[in-house]
Chain A
Amino acid sequence: MSLLATNNLSAFYGDFQALFDINVSVAQGETVAIIGANGAGKTTFLRAVAGALSTKPEMVMFDGRPIGHLTPHEVVRLGIAMVPEGRRLFPSLSVEENLLLGGHSERKGPWNLKRVYELFPRLRELRHLPAPALSGGQQQMAAIGRALMANPRLLLCDELSLGLAPVVIRDIYQCLGAVTAEGITVVLVEQDINRALDASVRFYCFQEGRLALSAPTKNFDRSAITAAYFGL
Chain B
Amino acid sequence: MEWLNILIQGSLLGGIYALFAIGLSMSFGIMRLVNIAHGDFIVLSAYVALVVTQGTGLDPISSLIIVVPVMFVVGYAIQRGLLNHTLSGGLLPPLLVTFGISVIIQNGLLAGFGAYTQRLHEGAIETASVQIFGGISIGVYPLVVFAVAVFAIASLQLLFYRTGLGRAFRAVSDDADTAELMGIDNRKLYALALGIAMIFTAIAGVLFAIRTIFDPAAGPIRLILAFEAVIIGGLGNMWGTLIGGVVLGVAQAVGAALSPTWQILAGHIAFLVILIVRPSGLFPRTRD
Contact = CB atoms under 8 A, between A and B. Distances in A.
Interface residues of A, number: 23
B182 A104 contact: yes
Interface residues of B, number: 19
Given A97-B167, A100-B167, A101-B167, A92 B181 contact: no
A124 to B, nearest CB: 19
A104 B170 contact: no
Interface string A87-109: 01011110001001110110000
B145 interface: no
Nearest to B180: A72
A57 B185 CA distance: 20
Interface stretch (B122-130, B148-156, B171-179, B213-221): B171-179
B180 A52 contact: yes
Contact of B171 (A72, A77, A82, A90): A90
With a 10 A CB-CB cut-off, give which of A52, A76, A91, A92 has the most chain B CB atoms: A92
B177 A101 contact: no
B103 interface: no
A187 interface: no
Contact of A101 (B173, B182, B185): B182
A150 interface: yes
B164 A105 contact: no
Contacts of A104: 164, 168, 182-184
A2 interface: no
A93 B171 contact: yes
A91 B180 CA distance: 16
Nearest to A86: B178
A150 B167 contact: no
Given A93-B167, A100-B167, A101-B168, A73 B184 contact: yes
A72 B172 CA distance: 14
11 contacts: A52-B177, A72-B183, A73-B180, A82-B181, A88-B175, A90-B179, A92-B174, A104-B168, A104-B182, A146-B182, A150-B182
Interface of B: 164, 167-168, 170-171, 173-175, 177-186, 287
